[in-house]
């Protein structure tokens, strides 16, 4: 439907003054927040969206700093580098503001700010007493990601972690998984048991090698989840887990069935079972006939399963909905034999009375809203069997034996490539820590050094990460001075695809970690959203999320929030209904919402959040048509950008001159820009005479010869590049095309001649520049895309070539284009997952009616079920392990696999509700929800509204929004309803127009000329002094540290030193580290950390030291890294002056930065010696700057690590 009116879901009037905005003393959970920073106790805190969990972590950290001997005793763990940087920045900023007490900009305004200031003041007093110097050494604040923590543990124990030297960690290792999978399949060539296992797996999956390869690779990516399960598990134990699962499901069902209705149920089922037995009909209800005395209900033992099947058959349809009628097939015939002497209608009346009783019972169950009972009854039908078949066990055995071999192959691949994934690093860290009963020296050392642990986003913890935490706190007990604070929100657990297990949060809240009890705390205040949004979320998601907590299923009930922000006028939440997949109208509505938001408040921020990137296919083109610039965060694929497609075609063409498709794309690219007619002429495969007369004579009047016919025959089989070099073929094209091809030919001939003699990147980039590729670009973002592609090409080439072009393109497809560099961030587009932790004034969530795709099959399904109680036949401490092999190709569904798949789908459905909660709670002022559902003509001629598909986000909130859709459908015109899936109305053909305009360089384009040489002549003799004197005595690390410091001092000066502070420098710590590694530091992690700290210290000193602020501040004629060339007796030498400027008095300065350090006591003597060392170098710089006016120049040496300074003038 195209013109459905938006419907307000939570409308407010004039903003009342009921809730003061951010008044701390009225925060409902202020007491709980104060309790959470108590350093004597451990807590697990549930912090819903917008509740200020990061601020709570900051306050806890500050409080702990006042209680420890050394800052390193506190370790904070986050999941992303961005979160770690934010926490570090806020901590340093709090301390820096406390140090600047009295400045108007640092006066606290809210209760949170006042408490934070008090805690920071206490830390500074402690710092001054014990001499930590945290602001000068913020690296002492141990805030790191799980991955960096694991990497540091592995580097400390290279033998136990089985790593040896530290390999490179990579985010995407799927190519390595595939390589290991191929090696595993190759084991079939042997003669051992592994060959038989591979053969059995091939037979099971119909010899589909490609599928098996992919399945193995996917299993290797998740090996930390299943590897521990497949060792030492015998058949008896696994089948005990199956029986335990069945008993638990039956036990749950017994508890759900209303006691008041049990007697009636028994009578009805017995009645139906007897009738089915008499008639000889087959039904699950017939299994109830063996039941004992009247009033007895089935229990939760194995033998009761058949009875519950009968109850389910009586109550539910095959699809699992409450049964509306009962027929003879269910044991309820239309008439009964009433016996001799009875009236003729008596049998029908009795039968009808039984039917009415059955219908009344089901109606009562349905009216009570017993959806948990309905689902439990339906689940009984799908329960797995209590034992494996022989075929299942054989295949499962082969898989569980083969997978460890695949892991072994993967380790070999890791060793050969020198790369590992993060899972391998985590597993290495676990090995380095040992077991709780046999801790390693590292574990014992950490137990001594770490006294307080803070964990952010605890709801996203995986099982491996939980094991790491458990080993770190093994032996900790309440009251021993060591504490844990785990903060998270299980309602925002949406990372199952990254192995997050929300049940772990619930488990820790119920039982702690190891011997350590974590006291539960729940926050409720929402500081982010206006009251209208908070109330709508409370009302809606209480029905979206389950009522009861279930650790095994990962079911998290909703916890309501309390708004602290004022109510805003207007509509807080608006639902925009659309029908029959009219995504074009949905996209138009998105554009209109953005335009309205900007008209009301041009400075407001807006975000479009989608579940899948494909949901933006109609929206992004509409935004571009409307001229709305946006910042897309990992949305648009890099391979979809035109400049990258052209560069890829150029790469393929240069690598393979016979690649026809690549050459055709190259000829159409804007740097060549042939018309379709010219492309057809140069690349056609059939014989055509060159341009001339119709009768076949040539243009000069001659007649076609035998040689020309032979040429035609030869042309039909040659490659495009050969045709470009063939004068006969070139004669076919137009004059304009001929000129363009000649320019192309000249450039590519040289590139192909040098192929494999230089780096492939250099060849491709050189060809692109020479052909005029940059001249075809008018968008700055396209230059960034081109650079990203060339960097990717350089990283994947080998000896001037790419061994596997298909792999190159697959990897390219996984990369994302950079956001629009001209966009200001007021409009952002991202997935809901990426938006987690962010907030926007206006949030738009389109595509709610689109279903997610089905999950791929796994090689085997496994499920570790965390029990709600201690009952488990398997007897393994409250856990049941369920395993099932993938079903055989072409065979019936495997009931155990199907059951585990069902449990997995239920977990996913629960996460979908949490995902929608994350999207809704990003909004501060306005929330817009858009989605399509179906309408079809009903039997009565009216439109019938169909509920959304089960796997859509719209289905989660359908009870709340159904009325909105019904009203919109009632108002709509019939023609608006008749819209097909592609937005096309029946009886009306859509007109498609193809843009055939050709973007290309003008004919005869040439590279611009180089600028004229600078006319300069040396006027006096200058002593030749090389710049690298500073590092002639220093090591590699010192040189690289100096390079990075010089680059960033230049950037600080150019951006304005007034825009920099200690906190901003600290945020860039990871950037400095990456630059040092990229520049060539090859030492161990500790050395890299030390070098990074030197960079941070130098820069923090420079931006906080008055001398550094003066040097880097705004000056006249200031230049940084000024390159100059001097002639020394015919030999040219180049110099780079770090900083030169005129001060307010007009004095010219030349300054050189020195990253030298001095560990001794006589710092002044060291600085004097350094001055003498570099005097000649600075005098040389001064002589260069003195010309041609012979003005006086003062020299300066600045030592940022020491905050040291030396200066002198012409007099020396």
Element (H, E) at 929: strand 923-933
pLDDT digit string, tens, across residues 619-654: 999 998 999 999 998 888 899 999 999 999 999 999
Cβ proximity of 415 and 164 under 8 Å: no
Give pLDDT, residue 591.
96
Question: Quick check: helix, strand or coil at residue 463?
Answer: helix
- Same structural domain for residues 875 and 833? yes
- Same structural domain for residues 921 and 1038? no
53 assigned to a ligand binding site: yes
138 assigned to a ligand binding site: no
Residue 820 inside a domain? The answer is: no
The CATH number covering residue 655 comes to: 1.10.486.10
Can you tell me the distance from the alpha carbon of 4 to that of 399, in angstroms, rounded to the nearest whole number?
Answer: 54
Place of tokens 């590694």: 1077
pLDDT above 50 for 1080: yes
Pairing of strands 1116-1128, 1131-1142: antiparallel
- Same structural domain for residues 681 and 772? yes
DSSP of 206-251 = TT-HHHHHHHHHHHHHTHHHHGGGSSS--HHHHHHHHHHHHHHHHH
HSE-CB at 468 with a 13 A cutoff on CA atoms is 27
pLDDT digit string, tens, across residues 8-42: 555 443 333 333 333 445 788 999 999 999 999 99
Can you tell me the distance from the alpha carbon of 644 to that of 816, in angstroms, rounded to the nearest whole number?
Answer: 11
Give pLDDT, residue 1029.
40
Give pLDDT, residue 99.
86
Nearest to 486 by CA among 499, 472, 498: 472
- In this structure, how many other beta carbons lie within 10 angstroms of the beta carbon of residue 896? 25
Give pLDDT, residue 81.
84
Can you tell me the distance from the alpha carbon of 272 to that of 1090, in angstroms, rounded to the nearest whole number?
Answer: 80
Nearest to 1179 by CA among 1053, 1071, 1021, 1038: 1021
Q: Which of 70-74, 650-654, 1208-1212 has the lowest mean pLDDT?
A: 1208-1212
852 assigned to a ligand binding site: no
Going from the C-alpha of 249 to that of each of 243, 378, 388, the distances in angstroms are 10, 11, 19
483 assigned to a ligand binding site: no
**Inter-axis angle of helices 642-655 and 780-796, to 10 degrees?**
30
Can you tell me the distance from the alpha carbon of 769 to that of 760, in angstroms, rounded to the nearest whole number?
Answer: 14
Counting residues of the chain whose pLDDT is more than 90, the rounded percentage is 39
Cβ proximity of 436 and 475 under 8 Å: yes
Can you tell me the distance from the alpha carbon of 1009 to that of 489, in angstroms, rounded to the nearest whole number?
Answer: 61
Question: Which ranges of 454-582 does DSSP label H, i.e. alpha helix?
Answer: 463-472, 502-511, 531-544
Query: Which residue, of 369, 396, 412, is where some domain finishes?
Result: 369
Tokens of 1123: 């390159």
Can you tell me the distance from the alpha carbon of 782 to that of 902, in angstroms, rounded to the nearest whole number?
Answer: 45
Q: Where does the pLDDT of residue 827 fall: very low under 50, low under 70, confident under 90, or very high at 90 and above?
A: very high
HSE-CB at 634 with a 13 A cutoff on CA atoms is 10
- Same structural domain for residues 859 and 779? no
348 assigned to a ligand binding site: no
Q: Where does the pLDDT of residue 1024 fall: very low under 50, low under 70, confident under 90, or very high at 90 and above?
A: very low
Tell me how long the chain is: 1212
Cβ proximity of 181 and 220 under 8 Å: yes
Can you tell me the distance from the alpha carbon of 1129 to that of 671, in angstroms, rounded to the nearest whole number?
Answer: 46
320 assigned to a ligand binding site: no
Give pLDDT, residue 19.
36
Can you tell me the distance from the alpha carbon of 78 to that of 97, in angstroms, rounded to the nearest whole number?
Answer: 24
Question: Which ranges of 797-837 does DSSP label H, i.e. alpha helix?
Answer: 805-813, 832-835
Dihedral in degrees, nearest 10, Cα atoms 352, 354, 355, 360: 120
Terminal CA-CA length for the chain: 84
Residue 192 inside a domain? The answer is: no
Residue 559 inside a domain? The answer is: no
Q: Which of 155-169, 310-324, 998-1012 has the lowest mean pLDDT?
A: 155-169
Sheet strand arrangement including 1116-1128: 1116-1128, 1131-1142, 1148-1153, 1193-1199, 1204-1208
- Same structural domain for residues 915 and 774? no
- In this structure, how many other beta carbons lie within 10 angstroms of the beta carbon of residue 1012? 6
- Same structural domain for residues 589 and 650? no
543 assigned to a ligand binding site: no
| Average of per-residue pLDDT values in the chain | 83
Residues linked to residue 419 through DSSP beta bridges, in sequence order: 168
pLDDT digit string, tens, across residues 116-137: 999 999 999 999 999 898 888 8
Give pLDDT, residue 248.
86
Q: Where does the pLDDT of residue 108 fall: very low under 50, low under 70, confident under 90, or very high at 90 and above?
A: low
pLDDT above 50 for 987: no
Can you tell me the distance from the alpha carbon of 1153 to that of 400, in angstroms, rounded to the nearest whole number?
Answer: 61
Can you tell me the distance from the alpha carbon of 513 to that of 866, in angstroms, rounded to the nearest whole number?
Answer: 14
Nearest to 680 by CA among 695, 691, 667, 670: 667
Can you tell me the distance from the alpha carbon of 267 to that of 190, in angstroms, rounded to the nearest whole number?
Answer: 64
HSE-CB at 799 with a 13 A cutoff on CA atoms is 2
Q: Sign (positive/negative) of CA torsion 20, 22, 25, 29? A: positive
Nearest to 1070 by CA among 1103, 1044, 1104, 1105: 1044
HEC profile for 1105-1153?
CHHHHHHHCCCEEEEEEEEEEEEECCEEEEEEEEEEEECCCCCEEEEEE
Give pLDDT, residue 170.
82
Tokens of 938: 């009903």
Can you tell me the distance from the alpha carbon of 313 to that of 300, in angstroms, rounded to the nearest whole number?
Answer: 18
Nearest to 87 by CA among 55, 121, 117: 55
Segment 252-256 mean pLDDT: 87
Greatest C-alpha distance within the chain? 139
Can you tell me the distance from the alpha carbon of 521 to that of 60, in angstroms, rounded to the nearest whole number?
Answer: 14
Element (H, E) at 9: strand 7-12
Segment 1144-1148 mean pLDDT: 83
Segment 1025-1036 mean pLDDT: 46
- Same structural domain for residues 958 and 879? yes
Segment 477-506 mean pLDDT: 91
Q: Sign (positive/negative) of CA torsion 226, 229, 232, 233? A: negative
Nearest to 540 by CA among 1107, 880, 929: 929
Give pLDDT, residue 980.
44
Q: Where does the pLDDT of residue 219 fall: very low under 50, low under 70, confident under 90, or very high at 90 and above?
A: very high
Q: Which of 191-200, 375-384, 855-864 has the lowest mean pLDDT?
A: 855-864
The CATH number covering residue 146 comes to: 3.40.50.300
- Same structural domain for residues 729 and 806? yes
Cβ proximity of 323 and 362 under 8 Å: yes
Residue 252 inside a domain? The answer is: no
Q: Where does the pLDDT of residue 5 fall: very low under 50, low under 70, confident under 90, or very high at 90 and above?
A: low
Beta strands in 49-154 (DSSP E): 74-78, 142-145
48 assigned to a ligand binding site: yes
Segment 1182-1210 mean pLDDT: 86
Give pLDDT, residue 368.
67
Query: Which residue, of 959, 977, 995, is where some domain finishes?
Result: 977
Can you tell me the distance from the alpha carbon of 325 to that of 366, in angstroms, rounded to the nearest whole number?
Answer: 13
Cβ proximity of 1099 and 1065 under 8 Å: yes
Residue 579 inside a domain? The answer is: yes
Q: Where does the pLDDT of residue 1040 fall: very low under 50, low under 70, confident under 90, or very high at 90 and above?
A: confident
Cβ proximity of 138 and 1062 under 8 Å: yes
How many structural domains comprise the chain?
A: 5
Question: Quick check: helix, strand or coil at residue 599?
Answer: helix
- Same structural domain for residues 969 and 1031? no
Residues of the domain holding 449: 36-151+423-526
Tokens of 553: 């299923």
Segment 162-176 mean pLDDT: 74
- Same structural domain for residues 799 and 888? no
Give pLDDT, residue 64.
96
- Same structural domain for residues 830 and 775? no
Give pLDDT, residue 871.
41
pLDDT above 60 for 456: yes
pLDDT digit string, tens, across residues 46-66: 999 999 999 999 999 999 999
The CATH number covering residue 1106 comes to: 3.90.320.10
Going from the C-alpha of 73 to that of each of 131, 142, 387, 1088, the distances in angstroms are 16, 8, 51, 21
Quote the distance between the C-alpha of residue 150 and its chain's center.
20
Can you tell me the distance from the alpha carbon of 629 to that of 639, in angstroms, rounded to the nearest whole number?
Answer: 20
Segment 1129-1149 mean pLDDT: 82
Segment 715-727 mean pLDDT: 81
Nearest to 584 by CA among 987, 982, 991: 982
pLDDT above 80 for 436: no
Counting residues of the chain whose pLDDT is more than 70, the rounded percentage is 84
Segment 1171-1189 mean pLDDT: 83
Nearest to 743 by CA among 690, 800, 666, 658: 666
Q: Where does the pLDDT of residue 998 fall: very low under 50, low under 70, confident under 90, or very high at 90 and above?
A: confident
Residue 397 inside a domain? The answer is: no
Q: Where does the pLDDT of residue 924 fall: very low under 50, low under 70, confident under 90, or very high at 90 and above?
A: very high
pLDDT above 60 for 841: yes
Q: Where does the pLDDT of residue 284 fall: very low under 50, low under 70, confident under 90, or very high at 90 and above?
A: confident
Can you tell me the distance from the alpha carbon of 1187 to that of 1129, in angstroms, rounded to the nearest whole number?
Answer: 18
Residue 946 inside a domain? The answer is: yes
Q: Where does the pLDDT of residue 962 fall: very low under 50, low under 70, confident under 90, or very high at 90 and above?
A: very high
Cβ proximity of 436 and 474 under 8 Å: yes
Q: Which of 514-523, 985-994, 1047-1056 has the lowest mean pLDDT?
A: 985-994
pLDDT digit string, tens, across residues 725-742: 988 888 889 999 999 999
Can you tell me the distance from the alpha carbon of 1121 to that of 1052, in angstroms, rounded to the nearest whole number?
Answer: 12
Query: Which residue, of 305, 336, 369, is where some domain finishes?
Result: 369
Q: Which of 278-287, 463-472, 641-650, 981-990 has the lowest mean pLDDT?
A: 981-990
HSE-CB at 849 with a 13 A cutoff on CA atoms is 23
- Same structural domain for residues 800 and 857? no
Residue 957 inside a domain? The answer is: yes
Give pLDDT, residue 814.
87
Beta strands in 790-834 (DSSP E): 827-831
More confident residue, 699 or 755: 755
Can you tell me the distance from the alpha carbon of 666 to that of 649, in angstroms, rounded to the nearest whole number?
Answer: 6
Cβ proximity of 137 and 1069 under 8 Å: no
pLDDT above 90 for 993: no
Give pLDDT, residue 166.
63
């Amino acid at each position: 439907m195209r013109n459905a009116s938006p419907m307000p879901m939570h409308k407010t009037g004039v903003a009342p003054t009921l809730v003061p905005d951010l008044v701390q003393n009225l925060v409902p959970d202020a007491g709980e927040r104060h309790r959470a920073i108590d350093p004597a106790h451990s807590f697990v805190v549930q912090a819903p969206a917008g509740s200020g969990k990061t601020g709570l972590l900051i306050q806890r950290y500050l409080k702990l700093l006042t209680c420890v001997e050394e800052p390193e005793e506190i370790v904070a763990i986050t999941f992303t580098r961005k979160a770690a940087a934010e926490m570090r920045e806020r901590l340093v900023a709090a301390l820096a503001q406390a140090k600047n007490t009295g400045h108007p900009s640092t006066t606290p305004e809210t209760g949170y700010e006042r408490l934070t200031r008090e805690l920071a003041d206490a830390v500074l007093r402690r710092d001054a007493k014990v001499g930590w110097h945290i602001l000068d050494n913020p690296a002492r604040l141990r805030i790191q990601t799980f991955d960096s923590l694991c990497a540091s543990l592995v580097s400390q124990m290279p033998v136990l972690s089985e790593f040896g030297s530290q390999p490179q960690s990579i985010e995407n290792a799927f190519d390595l998984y595939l390589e290991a999978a191929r090696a595993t399949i190759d084991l079939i060539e042997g003669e051992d048991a592994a060959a038989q296992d591979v053969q059995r797996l091939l037979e099971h999956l119909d010899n589909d090698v490609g599928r098996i390869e992919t399945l193995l690779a996917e299993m290797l990516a998740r090996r930390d989840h299943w590897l521990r399960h497949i060792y030492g598990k015998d058949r008896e134990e696994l089948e005990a887990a199956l029986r335990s699962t069945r008993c638990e499901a039956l036990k749950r069902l017994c508890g759900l069935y209303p006691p008041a209705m049990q007697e009636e149920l028994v009578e009805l089922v017995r009645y139906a079972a007897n009738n089915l037995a008499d008639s000889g009909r087959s039904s699950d209800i017939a299994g109830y006939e063996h039941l004992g005395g009247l009033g007895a209900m089935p229990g939760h033992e194995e033998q009761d399963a058949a009875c519950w099947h009968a109850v389910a058959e009586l109550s539910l349809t095959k699809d699992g909905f409450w049964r509306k009628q009962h027929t003879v097939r269910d044991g309820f015939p239309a008439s009964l034999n009433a016996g001799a002497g009875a009236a003729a209608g008596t049998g029908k009346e009795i039968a009808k009375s039984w039917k009415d009783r059955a219908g009344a019972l089901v109606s009562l169950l349905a009216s009570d809203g017993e959806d948990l009972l309905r689902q439990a009854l339906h689940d009984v039908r799908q329960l797995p069997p209590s034992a494996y078949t022989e075929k299942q066990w054989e295949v499962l055995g082969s898989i569980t034996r083969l997978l460890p071999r695949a892991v072994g192959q993967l380790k070999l691949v890791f060793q050969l490539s020198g790369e590992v994934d993060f899972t391998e690093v985590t597993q290495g860290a676990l090995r380095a820590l040992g077991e709780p009963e046999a801790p390693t020296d590292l574990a014992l050392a950490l137990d001594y050094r770490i006294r307080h642990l803070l964990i952010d986003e605890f709801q996203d913890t995986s099982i491996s990460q939980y094991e790491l935490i458990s080993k770190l706190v093994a032996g900790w007990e309440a009251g021993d001075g060591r504490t844990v604070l785990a903060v998270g929100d299980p309602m925002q657990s949406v990372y199952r695809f990254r192995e997050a297990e929300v049940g772990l949060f619930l488990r820790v809240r119920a039982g702690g970690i190891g011997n350590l009890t974590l006291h539960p705390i729940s926050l409720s205040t929402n500081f982010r959203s206006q009251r209208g949004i908070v109330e709508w979320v409370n009302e809606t998601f209480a029905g979206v999320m389950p009522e009861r907590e279930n650790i095994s299923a990962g079911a998290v009930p909703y916890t309501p929030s309390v708004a602290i922000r004022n109510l805003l006028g207007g509509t807080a939440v608006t639902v925009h209904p659309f029908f029959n997949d009219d995504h074009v109208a949905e996209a138009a509505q998105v554009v209109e919402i953005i335009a309205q938001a900007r008209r009301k408040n041009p400075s407001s921020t807006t975000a479009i959040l989608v579940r899948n990137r494909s949901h933006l296919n109609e929206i992004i083109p509409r935004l571009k048509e409307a001229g709305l610039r946006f910042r897309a965060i990992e949305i648009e694929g890099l391979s979809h950008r035109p400049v990258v497609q052209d560069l890829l075609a150029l790469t393929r063409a240069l690598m393979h001159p016979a690649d026809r498709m690549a050459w055709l794309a190259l000829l159409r690219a804007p740097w060549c820009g042939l018309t379709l007619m010219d492309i057809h002429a140069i690349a056609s495969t059939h014989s055509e005479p060159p341009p001339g007369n119709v009768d076949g004579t040539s243009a000069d009047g001659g007649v076609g010869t035998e040689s020309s016919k032979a040429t035609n025959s030869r042309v039909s089989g040659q490659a495009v590049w050969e045709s470009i070099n063939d004068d006969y073929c070139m004669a076919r094209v137009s004059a304009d095309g001929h000129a363009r091809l000649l320019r192309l030919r000249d450039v590519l001939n040289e590139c192909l001649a040098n192929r494999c003699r230089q780096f492939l990147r250099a060849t491709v980039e050189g060809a692109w520049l020479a052909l005029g590729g940059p001249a075809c670009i008018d968008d700055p973002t396209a230059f960034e895309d081109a650079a990203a592609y060339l960097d990717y090409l350089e990283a994947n080439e080998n000896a001037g070539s790419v061994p596997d072009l298909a792999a190159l393109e697959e990897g390219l497809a996984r990369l994302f284009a950079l956001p629009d560099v001209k966009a200001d961030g007021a409009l952002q587009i991202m997935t809901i997952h990426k938006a987690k932790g962010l907030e926007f004034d206006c949030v738009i969530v389109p595509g709610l009616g689109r279903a997610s795709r089905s999950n791929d099959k796994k090689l085997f399904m496994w499920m570790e079920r965390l029990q709600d109680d201690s009952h488990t036949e398997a007897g393994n401490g409250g856990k049941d392990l369920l395993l099932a092999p993938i079903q055989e190709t072409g065979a019936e569904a495997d009931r155990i696999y199907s059951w585990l798949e069902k449990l997995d789908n239920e977990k996913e459905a629960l996460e979908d509700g949490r995902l929608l909660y994350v999207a809704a709670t990003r909004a501060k002022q306005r929330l817009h929800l858009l989605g399509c559902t179906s309408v079809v003509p009903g039997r009565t001629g009216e439109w019938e509204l169909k509920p959304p598909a089960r796997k859509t986000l719209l289905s989660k909130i359908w009870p709340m929004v159904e009325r909105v859709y019904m009203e919109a459908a009632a108002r709509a015109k019939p023609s608006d309803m008749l819209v097909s899936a592609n937005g096309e109305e029946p009886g009306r053909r859509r007109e498609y127009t193809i843009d055939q305009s050709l973007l290309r360089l003008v004919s005869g384009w040439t590279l611009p000329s180089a600028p004229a040489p600078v006319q300069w002549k040396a006027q006096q003799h200058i002593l030749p002094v090389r710049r690298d004197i500073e590092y002639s005595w220093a090591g590699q690390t010192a040189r690289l540290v100096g390079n990075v410091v010089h680059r960033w001092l230049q950037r600080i000066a150019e951006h304005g030193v007034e825009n920099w502070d200690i906190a901003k420098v600290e945020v860039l710590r990871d950037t400095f580290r990456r630059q040092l590694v990229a520049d060539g530091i090859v030492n161990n992690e500790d050395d890299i950390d030390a070098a990074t700290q030197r960079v941070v210290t130098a820069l923090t000193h420079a931006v906080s030291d008055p001398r550094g602020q003066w040097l880097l501040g705004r000056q006249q004629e200031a230049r940084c890294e000024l390159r100059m060339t001097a002639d020394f007796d015919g030999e040219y030498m180049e110099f780079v002056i770090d900083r030169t400027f005129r001060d307010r008095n007009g004095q010219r300065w030349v300054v050189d930065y020195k990253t030298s350090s001095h560990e001794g006591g006589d710092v002044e003597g060291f600085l004097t010696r350094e001055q003498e060392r570099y005097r000649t170098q600075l005098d040389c710089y001064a002589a260069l700057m003195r010309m041609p006016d012979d003005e006086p120049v003062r020299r300066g040496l600045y030592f940022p690590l020491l905050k040291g300074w030396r200066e002198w003038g012409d007099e020396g």
